[in-house]
Every structure is written in C-alpha cells, then in structure tokens.
A and B are shown apart, each in its own frame.
Chain A
Amino acid sequence: MATGARGELLRRAGLRAVHVHPASNGEIQTIMRILIVEDDVEAANYLAKALREAGHVVDHAADGEAGYELAATAPYDVLVVDRMLPKRDGLSVVSTLRGEGNHTPVLVLSALAQVDDRVTGLRAGGDDYLPKPYAFSELLARVEALGRRPRQQEVETRYTVGDLVLDRLSHTVSRGGQDIPLQPREFKLLEYLMQNAGQVVTRTMLLEHVWEYHFDPQTNVIDVHISRLRGKIDKDFDKPLLHTIRGAGYTIRDISR
C-alpha cells in the first residue's frame, strides 16, 4: 500500500520519469486518516478520491452535525472543513471541538470573499485556511503539512537533506561540508522547505510562511526567489535537491540516494 501510494504521489507530482526505489527512500510518507466535512457531494467525492489516490484514508460527512459526530468520536490526523454547511456552521464545529480539547489539525475551506475571512477562520481554531476554488495540489500539500505537524513540535535544530545541512541555531547552511552564505530571507525559505522535506510546498504556502503574505502571487515572485536559492545550493553540485513540481510547487528531497 505504502509503495503504491508513494508511486502515485510521485506520479501526481510530475516525477513520472524518475525511477524510485522504495527502500532507498529516506523520507517517511505516512498514511493519514482524513475527514472531509463538505456539503457539495461532487466536490467531496472528488476530494476523497484524489486524497485516496494520494494514499490516505478518507471519511466524508455531508453536514455540520455529522461532521462533528465523526470528528469527536474517531481519531483523525487532519480535518478538512467547509465553512458553509447545512445544520451546523463549519466554524462552530471547529470551535466546539477545540473547546472539548480536541486538537486535530483543521484545514478550513471557504468560498467567502471577505477581506479578513482567513482571520475569522483561524480564530475559530482552524490551523490553515484555503479559499475556494482551490487547486487539489494546494490542498494536498497543506493537508500533508498539517498531518506532519505534531512531529515537528519536537524542535529540531538541524535539518538534513542529502548532503545539505541547515543549522537553525548557528543560522548556517552547508553542503558537502562547504559553507553556503544565504540572505536572511533565503535562509527562511530554505528552512521552511527543509522543514517539509520530501513534501510538496506550494507557492502560496511559501508566501504565507516565509513572507507572511496571504494572497495569490500574480507574477513569478516565488519562482524568482527559488531560482536564486537554487543558484546557491544546487548550481555548483552535480545532484539537484530543490525540485520544481509542475502545477503544484516545490519540494526539497534527495531522490537518488
């Protein structure tokens, strides 16, 4: 199952041509149990199907009441909750769960166009927020980032991908023992990528976490910053670590070790 999911993930990620030997892969791709609370049946089915294809286990609730019942009784790794739901508003489901001490990561979906929608969404207890319509790749990247979250709370001071090492304490980056000087923002960018090593990170996620801006960048702002970073960490080395995932974003990983 894990192998199939892995292959599927890479195929979706646009890395079809790369041969991956499952055992040689240093990253861990966990299977997550995800609950989708969404009243639009077609959107929910599509989402469930796509998440299953990515190797996860998915349950679906079509209204706020049912969603709350499921979330409160079964252990999930991530909840994907739409804001506008019949019977019970998505945000009230989330805040009730939080009030009961349930800290399952929640991704809030919303079709509302309010200026500070995100703020209300996050204030109610959501961990991340995605406006509709979204790209599935964006949603998957965020769900997987949320699912990984608890493990990251054990503070890591050093990130390693291949021979690339980032030391959070001394703020230094080296590859193959060779120091690479980075600008503060480039350091932050690499830090976030390495924190999510092996996972797809979208442009919007980078803009949110590295620059703390929440909107859809219109030009290739992020691409330009990535290509500068790539010029520093990949250019003089024969094996690239920072990969572009077409139609999704970027990932940092050591593929052919």
Chain B
Amino acid sequence: MTSLGKLFRTTAFKLALIYLAALTLASGAVIVYLSQNTASLLHEQVVETVDAEISGLAERYRTGGIRGLVATIDARARQPGASLYLVTDFAGNVLAGNVEGLGERVFSGESGELQRVSYAPFGGGAKREAFVRVFQLSGGFRLLVGRDLREHQFFRDLLSEAMRFWLFVIAALGLVTWVFVSRRVLKRIDAMSATGQRIMQGDLSERLPVDGSGDEFDRLAVSLNAMLERIEALMQGLKEVSDNIAHDLKTPLTRMRNRLEEAMRQGGEGAPSDDALSRTIEDCDGLIRTFDALLRIARIEAGSSDAALVDLDAGELVAEVAELYAPVVEDAGGSLTVEAASGLGLHGNRELLVQAVINLIENALKYGTPEGADPLKVTLAVARTGDEVRLSVRDHGPGIGEADRTRAVQRFVRLEASRNLPGSGLGLSLVNAVARLHGGRLVLEDAAPGLRAALELPLGKAKAGKQGNEGGVGDGG
C-alpha cells in the first residue's frame, strides 16, 4: 500500500470530505441569503430615491413650470453620482436630461412603473443598466428618473468574488485539516499496529505509546496497555507454572526412573524381573515424552520468543529428514520419495520444523498404509505457492474424513481408527503449533487416495550457498 493510498483510505479523509461539503453548503446558503437580501434592500433604496426625486421634481414643476424643472434637472444632472433624468415634451423631444439611447418603449409603459432598462450615458460611453420610472406631468410632459445599477452590479461582483475566495479557503482548510489529522492519526495508528505486530511475535513486554495528551488515542492506548499487562501477567503465570511443573514433576520422575534403573542394575534375589522393570521404564519415558510435548506445545503457542529463527533452505531441510527416514520407511516395506523444489527459503527454527516434518512422517508410517496389499508409499514435497512454501507429506492410506480433519489437530484427540495404536495424540497439535509460530498453518487434504498433510509457511529469503547452515550436512543420500 502506498503511503498516499493509505492516506486516502483514512477516516480523516472521509471526515475532511464531509466537512468540506457541509461547510460549502452552509456558506453557499449564507451567501445566497445575503445577496438576495442585499439586492432587495438596494432595490427598495432605488425605489425610494427615485420616488423622492420624482415627487420633489413634480413639486418643482408645479411651482416653477417646465422651465423651473428643466433648470433644476440640468443643475442636478451635472452633479457627480447623479441620478438619471430625462424630460420630454408631448412629442417626445428631449428638453433636459443626462440619458440617451433609451428605447421608445420606455415611455409607452404605464406611468409610475419601475422598469429596468439599458441606457447610454449622456455624452457617450458603454451601455449601462438602470432602474427608471416615468412620471406623467400635466401638459404632456414626461419626466423620467432613474438610478444606475452599477452599484448593484459592483456589489454582486463583490459577493461572488467573496464566495469564490471563501470556497477556496474552505477547500484549502479542509485539505490542510485532512493532511494534518490523517498524518497524526496514521502515525499513532501505525505505531499502534507496529507495536501490535511485535507483541504478536511474542514480545509481550511491549507497550503502546502514551503521549499524555489524554485524547481518545491515549485513552485507547492506556486501556490496551492495561489489557496487555494482564495478558503478560497471565502468560508469565503460565510460564512459571509450566517451569514449575517441569521442575516439580520431572524431579520425582527422574528419581523414579533412577530407582528403576538401579533396581535393574542390581538385580539379585527377589528382585522384579528385568522385563517388568524395563517396561516400567518405557512407560516412564512415554509419560515424560507426552509431558514434554505438552509443555513444548504450550510454549510454542504462547509465542514465547525463545525459539531462535534463522534462514533455512526448505528443500535441504526436507531432504535431510528424508535421508534420515528413508531406511525406516523401507524397513516397513514401503518407499519414501522426495519432490523438492530448490532455492526456497524459510525463516524458521530448524529444530521445530524438523520435528514437525518428522511428526508428519511418523503419522504417515503409522496410519498411511494403504488398504489391501499395496506397499506403503510416502511422498515428501516442497513447492512454492504464491508467497508461501508448502512442505507436504503424502501417504496412500485411508486418509482422514473431512469431518475429522479439524479435530485431528486438537490436543489428545485420537481418531477412532488410531485408538489401538501407540501414540499420545499430540503429534499433529505440535505440527500445528509449529506452523502457527512461523506464521503459517497446517492443512490436511484428501490426496485421493491418502492424506496430504501440508505445512504452509511464509516464503523467506532464499539461502545463499550452503555455508552457515549449522546442521546442514550437505551429503544427503
């Protein structure tokens, strides 16, 4: 995942988008409301001004006649920022004013109606917009008073400019917020997940960073840390218990075994037979073995990091085990073949992986004999599937029914078919635990006929050369 892609996928990004949309909508509404209100206010102002001027000029006409009116208008029209004035006689000739280029239509309208027109200022210039009102004077004279709309236009432009600027600011703010929030959040979340990964790899002493700001992440980290503390205490307890069990139970077992051996060595009158003694020693050893396997599984599953992981070559590892076991399979009247791809690296614990493969081979030896007269056939394979290395052991026996496959991996579970065979029911559990320690899994499949037990493990670095392989005696037979 690219860091940018990661940034886009954050909650902060979504929040920033929503925030941006909401703010845009709200400010849009405000601006629309504002501009409408202002427009109507300005309009009213125009109407009032025009009306006031009309009534003033009408008054002037009544007192001073047309001459007086024209004189007043001439005087007013010259002032800067003046309103628009136009006086015509009954024939439509202009007597005074500062407007021209108005259509004839303007005067045909009802008297007193406010009209929006375009006009040219007196003395030339670009056409402008204005609101005008025509007032019918007695004697056929018509008086036109209006206000230029430049101010309106100016104000509207100002508003839309402000609106654009505002939108830009919002967008920029949203972007900045998003980048800041998501980087900060991502940083903390990434720190948390990195710590989580380390913890999952077995280092339970790790804690999530707490920066003391008391924000929601801090509170989350604090409660997760409390949880981790508890888990660590529990795991520590488990470790202590198993160490104590190891010590306290193994000590009497050692003594028991010692006495049996001593009795066997001394023999003499009235001593139990060597056979009984050696069978008891065997049972004792079986007990110890089961017990060791259990502790081992518990340890591996607890993920305690005391299993050193190194780079290994999967093919070499399997070939070595095959070399050790081939004569055993042959003595059982069968054959063991290896189909190993070369150059597949594994990052793992050699001891545990070897033990896992051996357990699978032992299972094939025990349960993999085909029904009928066919000889035992065991196939070890190492292959790559995607980013994984698959170490599989296949037999041609009756296999394990689909319903039993999950159960077969559990501790002490011994399927019906194997009840009368020796074994502790821990073999596959150990393999499973080893697979999980390496970040992989144990898969049981129907190889029709037979069972294929596969360890699917993450592909590691291909091991360069053969040196550095502490146990790698490269002379596999």
Residues of B within 8 A of A221 (CB): 324-325, 328
Complex contact A219–B328 (CB within 8 A) = yes
Given A115-B351, A247-B264, check contact A133 B250 (CB 8 Å).
Answer: yes
Given A115-B306, A188-B473, check contact A53 B255 (CB 8 Å).
Answer: no
Partner of A218, one of B256, B278, B289, B327: B289
Q: What is the 8 Å Cβ interface bit string for chain B, positions 279-313, against chain A (1 contact, 0 not)?
A: 00100110011001001100110001011100000
Q: Which of B65-73, B207-215, B241-249 contacts A (4 or more CB under 8 A)?
A: B241-249
- Interface of chain B residues 227 through 283 with chain A (CB within 8 A): 242-243, 246-247, 250-251, 253-259, 261-262, 264-265, 278, 281
Partner of A116, one of B288, B308, B324: B308
Given A43-B251, A213-B354, check contact A135 B289 (CB 8 Å).
Answer: no
Residues of B within 8 A of A111 (CB): 246-247, 250-251
Dominant secondary structure at the B interface: helix
In angstroms, how far is the closest chain A Cβ from the Cβ of B286?
A: 10
Answer yes or no: A157 CB below 8 A from chain B CBs: no
In angstroms, how far is the closest chain A Cβ from the Cβ of B459?
A: 23
Answer yes or no: B159 CB below 8 A from chain A CBs: no
Answer yes or no: A183 CB below 8 A from chain B CBs: yes
Range, interface on chain B:
35 or more
Given A184-B475, A224-B327, check contact A247 B278 (CB 8 Å).
Answer: yes
Complex contact B292–A113 (CB within 8 A) = yes
Complex contact A224–B278 (CB within 8 A) = no
Given A132-B251, A184-B477, check contact A115 B296 (CB 8 Å).
Answer: yes
Chain B CB count within 10 A is highest, among A131, A183, A224, for A224
Chain B CB count within 10 A is highest, among A40, A43, A247, for A247
Residues of B within 8 A of A228 (CB): 327
In angstroms, how far is the closest chain A Cβ from the Cβ of B128?
A: 93
Given A114-B306, A184-B477, check contact A133 B265 (CB 8 Å).
Answer: no
Answer yes or no: B413 CB below 8 A from chain A CBs: no
Chain A CB count within 10 A is highest, among B258, B308, B358, for B258
Partner of A220, one of B285, B308, B328, B477: B328
Answer yes or no: B98 CB below 8 A from chain A CBs: no
Answer yes or no: B402 CB below 8 A from chain A CBs: no
Complex contact A53–B257 (CB within 8 A) = no
Chain A's closest residue to B289 (CB) is A216
Chain B CB count within 10 A is highest, among A115, A136, A213, A214, for A115
- Interface of chain A residues 204 through 246 with chain B (CB within 8 A): 211-216, 218-221, 224-225, 228
Docked Cα-Cα span, A253 to B118, in Å, equals: 128
Complex contact A115–B352 (CB within 8 A) = yes
Residues of B within 8 A of A120 (CB): 306
Answer yes or no: B31 CB below 8 A from chain A CBs: no
Residues of B within 8 A of A213 (CB): 324, 351, 354, 471
Docked Cα-Cα span, A220 to B325, in Å, equals: 10
Residues of A within 8 A of B289 (CB): 216, 218
Docked Cα-Cα span, A70 to B299, in Å, equals: 36
Complex contact A116–B306 (CB within 8 A) = yes
In angstroms, how far is the closest chain A Cβ from the Cβ of B349?
A: 7
- Interface of chain B residues 456 through 477 with chain A (CB within 8 A): 470-471, 473, 475, 477
Q: List 14 A-B contacts (CB under 8 A).
A: A11-B265, A111-B247, A111-B250, A115-B296, A115-B304, A115-B351, A116-B306, A133-B251, A185-B323, A185-B475, A220-B328, A228-B327, A247-B261, A247-B264
Q: A46-B255, A116-B349 are in contact. List 13 more A-B contacts (CB 8 A).
A: A12-B265, A40-B251, A43-B254, A112-B246, A113-B295, A113-B296, A115-B351, A133-B258, A137-B261, A184-B477, A212-B473, A221-B328, A225-B327
Give me the 5 closest cross-chain CB pairs, A-B, nearest first.
A133-B254, A184-B475, A212-B471, A113-B295, A115-B307
